[in-house]
Amino acid sequence: MCGITGFWNIKYTDCDSQTILKKMANTISHRGPDDEGYYFDEKGIALAHKRLSIIDLSMAGHQPMHSDDGRYVMVYNGEIYNYLEISDNLKKEGIRFRGNSDSEVLLEAFKFYGEDCVKHFNGMFAFVIWDKVEATIFAARDRIGIKPLYYYLTQNLFVFGSEIKAVKAHPAIQNVANDEAIFNYLNFSHQLDNQTWINNIFQLDPGHTLSISRNGSIKKCYWKPTVAIDYSRSYESFKEELAWRIEEAISLHQRSDVPIGAHLSGGIDSSAIVSIASKLHSGEFHTFSSAFAGMGIQYDENKEINEVKNRFNTIHHQVSANPQKVQDVLPQLIGMLDEPVAGPAILPMYFVNELINQNNIRVVNGGQGVDELFGGYRPFNTLAAHNLISLVKQGIHVPFSELAMIPAYFYRGGSFNRLFNKTVPSKLSIFNDPSVSQNAHLRYQNAELALGSGLLKFEQSMLMNLKHYLPALLHQEDRMSMNWSIESRVPFLDHRLVELSLTIPSFYKVKQGSLKSVFRETLRGKVPNLILDNKVKRGYPTPISAWSRNEMSGFFTKTLAKDNSPINNFINMDNVQLMLKDHISGKIDYTSALWSVLCTKIWFNNNF
């Protein structure tokens, strides 16, 4: 895991390349404290690498890495988990290696397979390769988008980096806010495309490559999630394959030459990783949690955490953020993110990764992705009901026991709330222009349509989560871990597991009232029943709703006070003041809206 950045003056414009590149690289020093390297040549290319040594700690893994024939120069961030298998295949073709790093395997795979090398990789990665002979660049990002790659591209200049701040550090980049990206966040908490909050800086889409020459650029998709439901297979058949796929993925993610541990919450996903990974380690196995004791069942996971750590005899470490620490560090966290995404889970993430760093663990595995792939969120109840009705209309056999659950699914998904909820909905809008929300939701509908026709509601939502919401969570995961020079891995996003999940019928994912049922029952006998049978959904719980009404009410009030901030061009701060007053008094819970506006205001304070 590392940080990469660089640029190519395509028309060979004169500039102080060394000064510019080192300034860019210094913005991401936290991503790679172990080593650094730079490459320049007369054709206008400048590449920088900040190394966090995980596999092959020797200088054989130094970057920028040159191919043995001197033609290619590469900077790479990530891990290729199947590098040993790829290495064996390349050795059979007569290729010899100087070291034992996955970086060298990646570069040699590119030499041998060309652009198709990415189809051979199982891992998380973002890399840029410079071809000195052809004067071309080849860049790629992993299938799911676990590792980031940002870029700015014109006819004359290509700039890239692992974080937006590295790209912004190039003097050609203008610091201009991107209205549409900001509105997307304020409406949905995530993006609907590859835009960022800075105009003309983009993300390379997951599963894509980018080739650049003096004649132009070509972006290609080499992988995309495709729904192919197999209604012929049984529940037990899927469980059987899922069991060995999970074991295989977790085992592969244990490859490391430095100490490795795991996140542990009270949920199924992280508990599954601990249950399997702890048995693969002969020595001590460290686990890390954030918990809020005394905050009630919604936030306190200690009972479940204790069950897992005791069952698998882990060396456990735990931290609990408090409101004072949170408000002290929040402006820094927004800077670490480069732009706000998703919700307040960054708070426990930050403090847990600080704890991991303090205990000298360099790699941790976490449970991201299961809820998106197997229907772990409450709305999937309603979507499951819609699917059952649609499948019956299509003449597809569904279990009668599931048809009987349709009313319960609608209820559990919240569909009946509007009939029985006596609370008067708020008519206040945070936006100056009410059409902003309408336009944003039109973009959302267009994004759904772009997924393809013929999808049922459950699968459509699953793809939307996978393509648009999950990247926001991975963004948080990457920045909060890399700020503390920690490599965070996500075994359940092994692309083979993702592909398998896209073949499983919805009535196996939500079954007999149980969300992500087939995943849950696959782990029966491996994960304690206390965890498997617990229906309380948390997921990095943070009591920001309670804090914003009490200990942090002053911080919210001060930060959201009306001033001359550029946020006034986006937000109706008079309405925000009214919402904050009602929220603090307990009249209406505006936590979500206020959190989004708070983070946006802090972002403007940090950047303008």
DSSP result, 152-192: EE-SSEEEEESSHHHHHTSTT----B-HHHHHHHHHHSS-S
Instruction: Quote the CA–CA distance of 30 and 250 in Å, as a whole number.
Output: 27
Q: How many residues does the chain have?
A: 608
Closest by Cα among 288, 301, 285, 282 to 541: 301
Instruction: Quote the CA–CA distance of 25 and 225 in Å, as a whole number.
Output: 33
* Cα of 383 vs its chain's centroid, Å: 24
CA atoms within 13 A on the CB side of 94: 1
Instruction: Quote the CA–CA distance of 196 and 45 in Å, as a whole number.
Output: 24
Name the residue with tokens 């942090």. 552
Instruction: Quote the CA–CA distance of 536 and 539 in Å, as a whole number.
Output: 10
Residue type (1 letter), 567: I
Contacts 24+ apart (CB under 8 A), 212-220: 212/8, 212/10, 212/136, 212/137, 212/139, 212/153, 212/158, 213/134, 213/135, 213/136, 213/137, 214/10, 214/11, 214/135, 216/155, 217/153, 217/158, 220/115
Q: Output Rg (C-alpha) for the chain, integer angstroms.
A: 24
* Cα of 375 vs its chain's centroid, Å: 17
DSSP result, 371-398: HHHHT-STHHHHHHHHHHHHHHHTT---
Instruction: Quote the CA–CA distance of 153 and 202 in Å, as a whole number.
Output: 9
Residue 412: what are its φ and ψ, rounded to 5°? -65, -30
Instruction: Quote the CA–CA distance of 114 and 120 in Å, as a whole number.
Output: 11
If 0-12 CB within 10 Å is exposed, 13-18 middle and 19+ buried, where does residue 223 land? middle
* Cα of 52 vs its chain's centroid, Å: 19
* Cα of 513 vs its chain's centroid, Å: 28
| 444: its two tokens | 């959302």
Q: Rounded to whole angstroms, what are the CA distances from 217 to 138, 154, 158, 227?
A: 10, 9, 10, 30
Strand order in the sheet with 45-51: 35-40, 45-51, 2-9, 157-161, 150-153, 202-203
In this structure, the strands spanning 157-161 and 202-203 are: unpaired
For the question of residue 2 being annotated catalytic, the response is yes
SS3 annotation, 395-448 = CCCCCHHHHCCHHHHHHHCCCCHHHHCCCCCCCCCCECCCHHHHHHHHHHHHHH
* Residues taking part in catalysis: 2
